[in-house]
Chain A
Amino acid sequence: MYLVLENKKEIISVQNATYIYRTSAEDEAKETAAKAVNGVQDVSLSVYEGEFLALVGHNGSGKSTLAKLFNGLLLPQSGRVTVFGYDTKKSDEVFEVRRRVGMVFQNPDNQMVASIVEDDVAFGPENIGVPQPEIVERVKWALSAVKMSDYADKTPTRMSGGQKQRVAIAGVLALKPSVIVLDESTAMLDPQGRKEVLDTVKRLNKEENITIILITHFMDEVLDADRVIALDGGKIVMEGTPVEIFRQEDKIKETGLELPIICDLAHKLADNGFDVDADNFDLEKLGEEICQSL
């Protein structure tokens, strides 16, 4: 798995980036001793073209801060973040960065700017001066890519959370980005909505070769990722394929995360003499193995 990634093109490079939130000076004096880093500290990582990268970690571990560094919404206080060679810190380059890295946030209700779905999707391309005929085409394409074409002339207010998030993704797609960052975009959705959004990003990853960075604390959402990075206290504490990550049960728990239920059970059974594959995420397969080893 790693070898494959090594051959891929590095498109985002984070080099020793630090971003720490400072509140008032008084607070800082009080809290520095007690509190771990609020933000990210001295983080280095690469994102490769076409990969599906999952970022996990408990609340306050620095995931969202890192996400905001990727497209220059936050600028590193020290270190460097480059996207396709453009430095997020250089004010004349940051727009090149944002055009390539699109973000979808958590709350579906906070991301709509227009009262009609197609106007909302057209907002981005209009802002960067795409010619009108092309905007129409892009909007059409983006809405069909998230399977929301039927809603083009509808108002978002009566749509479900999952539908709204897909429109938000279409709005990002219309800018033809290379990377889409989803910052806990499924956290507020019901199971149906989560599935819609996940299926959509997986399809965009496979069919449009868009690099996906998925930030989540649902462990079952990371099972299909090419690579998982876990953060804790503003630092990277684990990195690897989902299988490699979930093998480290103790470390996962230390990080304030959880094993997916299937893994958890498979580990427990393997420890007790069952002949089951502890790296397996497939329920059917686990069921078969249990039958055979009873």
Chain B
Amino acid sequence: MSIVVKNLNFVYNPKSPFEKHALVDVNLTVDDGDFLAVIGHTGSGKSTFIQHLNGLIKLQDGVINVDGIDLSLKKVDFKKLRGTVGMVFQYPEYQLFADTVYNDVAFGPKNLKLSKEEIDERVKEAISLVGLNFDYVSQKSPFELSGGEKRRVAIAGVIAMRPKILILDEPTAGLDPQGKKEILGLVTKLRQTTSPTIIMINHDMNEVARYATKVAVFDMGSVVFAEPPQQLFKKQEQLVKMGLDIPTLAKLRNMLVSKGINLPDDCLTVERMAEELIKLKKRRQDECSET
């Protein structure tokens, strides 16, 4: 088990007029190899939650265990925790700071006090993993690159720490369709190579439906659902009530099912939906010709 969260509560500005209960009794388990999407509208507690996972927010009440590291202890091994959990913030390209791409990506490993060779190896690996040409970009200033390239460099900086768990806060925000596809393709690749467990905050339900293996829905500081997208998006009414979108094809599937057309619940991508409908049509035609 990768991450176990039990009865987590968090209050901003406690005992002041600005007191705000951001998290209320959150319970959630993330298994090794999960691709967890965290959804919920602005102010639902998503960001407060993920900031707990690598110790950016100090635990107030509850239990969190991340890959064997107990965050409720008095002395938490933060160094180990931050080597385990990599965090890619929203618009990570705004956090690039070094004079060259190489130095920016090397910043994390250098702080781990690794040997020069090891740092070099990690930087090379990270830059090539994010799909950039090492020889071409390593000595460039990160500010000479395009927006999409900058975001990759920022992700490479996190990957160079070789985190087992990678957390991304809206990694596709502000990108064009091609850029979105590339970043999500990259996340999928990282899941297969360096970081088997992915946690991603995302507002785009179509992307959630396509990539996530499990979805946690936050509403008013609590996790109201935590299940695979195939099951979750059947609960159209409840999600709409919370002000959340439903993936376009889940809407279509729910509509067709209500009309008596039997479709598998994983028809959440255009390819799968088209495939099943074509199969169904063929089957019905065959039945017709038989009788």
Contact = CB atoms under 8 A, between A and B. Distances in A.
Nearest to B259: A291
B261 interface: yes
B179 to A, nearest CB: 6
Given A256-B178, A274-B281, A291-B261, A265 B173 contact: no
A170 to B, nearest CB: 21
Interface of B: 41-42, 146-148, 173-179, 203, 206, 243, 245, 248-249, 251-252, 255-256, 259, 261, 270, 273-274, 277-278, 280-281, 284
B41 A262 contact: no
A273 to B, nearest CB: 7
A272 interface: yes
Contact of B270 (A190, A191, A261, A287): A261
Contact of B255 (A58, A106, A187, A287): A287
Given A265-B274, A287-B256, 11 more contacts: A59-B175, A59-B176, A187-B173, A191-B245, A192-B42, A217-B177, A256-B178, A269-B277, A283-B248, A283-B252, A284-B255
Nearest to A268: B274
Interface string A270-282: 0011100000000
A190 B40 CA distance: 10
Nearest to A272: B278
B83 to A, nearest CB: 31
A261 B281 CA distance: 21
25 contacts: A59-B146, A59-B178, A59-B179, A160-B42, A184-B174, A188-B174, A191-B41, A191-B245, A192-B42, A217-B176, A261-B249, A262-B248, A264-B270, A269-B277, A272-B281, A274-B277, A283-B248, A283-B252, A283-B255, A284-B255, A290-B256, A290-B261, A291-B261, A294-B261, A294-B281
A58 B281 contact: no
Given A188-B173, A286-B252, A290-B256, A272 B274 contact: yes
A231 B259 CA distance: 41
**For the complex, would chain B's binding face be called helix, strand, loop or mixed by DSSP majority?**
helix
A204 interface: no
B261 A58 contact: no
Contacts of B259: 287, 291
A188 B177 CA distance: 14
A192 B41 contact: yes
Nearest to A106: B174
A293 interface: yes
Contacts of B249: 261, 265
Nearest to B271: A268
B289 to A, nearest CB: 15
A48 to B, nearest CB: 27
Quick one: which of A188, A191, A258, A283 has the most chain B CB within 10 A? Answer: A191
B211 to A, nearest CB: 15
Contacts of A283: 248, 251-252, 255
A287 B177 contact: no
A183 to B, nearest CB: 12
B266 to A, nearest CB: 15
A257 interface: yes
A91 B283 CA distance: 70
Given A59-B148, A291-B256, A291-B259, A256 B177 contact: yes
